[in-house]
Amino acid sequence: MESLKGRRVAILLTDGFEESEMTSPREALENAGAKCVLVSNKDKVQGFKHHDKSSSFDVDLPLAKADASDFDAVLLPGGVINADALRIEKKAQQFVREMDRAGKPVLVICHGPWLLVSAGLMQGRTITSWPTLQDDIRNAGGNWQDRECVRDRNWVSSRKPDDLPAFNRESIAVLTEIRPGARQGARAGDPAGARS
């Protein structure tokens, strides 16, 4: 596996995120050499394990100061409370639009796609998510699939914590393939699921 040394990944989240959907990808990305930066509209964020509060984490960078050009990818963990609060943050919408416009990897799991819907990015994209989001995704012009991991160009998506091994593998793969500063071409997506 090619090292991700020098790559910077913004983890965009707020209170109520699903803890494993942040910590597991962060560990996998950092083990591959990437630098992960917690970006939020809070100074400290509260993680959850399903419906119960778990650990809290210090934020590395205020959302108001986050510049998409400083990052090579963005990770959007799930969690209903987190995703529902982030989707109405104009700065969060702007950040993911700029990341996607530059062809940078967008790594999203569970309820995380709500931000992509609200940012107007779903049209024509193939994605998976927690099943209750499928109507929102389809109504926004997306193609929802019930798979553990879906790759569509620069997007990698998964449904839930059980999918994290596949999500982490494909997240590292997309970061390995997409060079910093290079726009992602309009090649066909790979909606058939994660590569083994």
Question: Which member of 36, 50, 111, 149 is catalytic?
Answer: 111
Is 36 annotated in the active site?
Answer: no
Q: What is the pLDDT of residue 4?
A: 94
What is the domain range of residue 58? 8-177
CA distance 21 to 107: 11
User: Which stretches of the chain drop beneath a pLDDT of 50?
Assistant: 1, 184-196
The CATH number of whichever domain residue 62 belongs to comes to: 3.40.50.880
Please check whether residue 2 lies inside any domain of the structure.
no
Question: Which member of 36, 50, 110, 149 is catalytic?
Answer: 110
CA distance 121 to 130: 18
Q: How confident is the model over 124-137, as pLDDT tens digits?
A: 999 999 999 999 99
Please check whether residue 194 lies inside any domain of the structure.
no
Is 111 annotated in the active site?
Answer: yes
* Cross-sheet strand order for the sheet of 8-12: 61-62, 35-40, 8-12, 73-76, 106-109, 155-158, 150-152
Q: What is the pLDDT of residue 179?
A: 80
Please check whether residue 192 lies inside any domain of the structure.
no
- How many domains are there within the chain? 1
Please check whether residue 61 lies inside any domain of the structure.
yes
